[in-house]
Amino acid sequence: MAGETSLSVLLRSMSPELNEGDYVFCSLTDANLLKGREPIGSFREREGLTVILRREDAQALGLPFDYLAAWITLNVHSALEAVGLTAAFAGALGKAGISCNVIAGYYHDHLFVGRDDAGRAMHVLRQLAEHGE
């Protein structure tokens, strides 16, 4: 099933959803430090393996973190080759003074914003969906 590429359709159909819980980014030198816990996401960098974990998992593993995030999923099936969606929501959030870390999955975009900014971020995203470009 192909994802949507039309920016106007993507914006109107974003349907942002705030996932429950608190999330953190950690950097590991060895994936075995996860001790079988599955990260929400990961990315291999030269400096180490970045993992996104539930806060309670990172704490249980004794992993350090310094950014407490909320996780928002955009429930529109955006195509990986779609142009402009990331710029649109990042621009709207940036204008509101909200930082955003984006992970593109096969089906959806996932935004990690500061825990204290979650409510405002949801408002900004809903406004963007309502008013479009």
Terminal CA-to-CA distance of the chain, rounded, Å? 25
In a domain, 37, yes or no: yes
* Full DSSP string of 95-132: HTT---EEEE-SS-EEEEEEGGGHHHHHHHHHHHHHH-
In a domain, 1, yes or no: no
What would the pLDDT profile of 20-74 be if each residue is shown by its tens digit?
999 999 999 999 889 989 999 999 999 999 999 999 999 999 999 999 999 999 9
Number of domains in the chain: 1
In a domain, 46, yes or no: yes
- Domain residues for the domain of 26 are 7-131
In a domain, 36, yes or no: yes
In a domain, 24, yes or no: yes
Angle, CA 41 vertex, CA 55 and CA 92 arms, to 5°: 85
In a domain, 2, yes or no: no
* CATH code, domain with 93: 3.30.2130.10
User: Tokens standing for 20?
Assistant: 């429950």
What would the pLDDT profile of 59-111 be if each residue is shown by its tens digit?
999 999 999 999 999 999 988 888 888 999 999 999 999 999 999 999 999 99
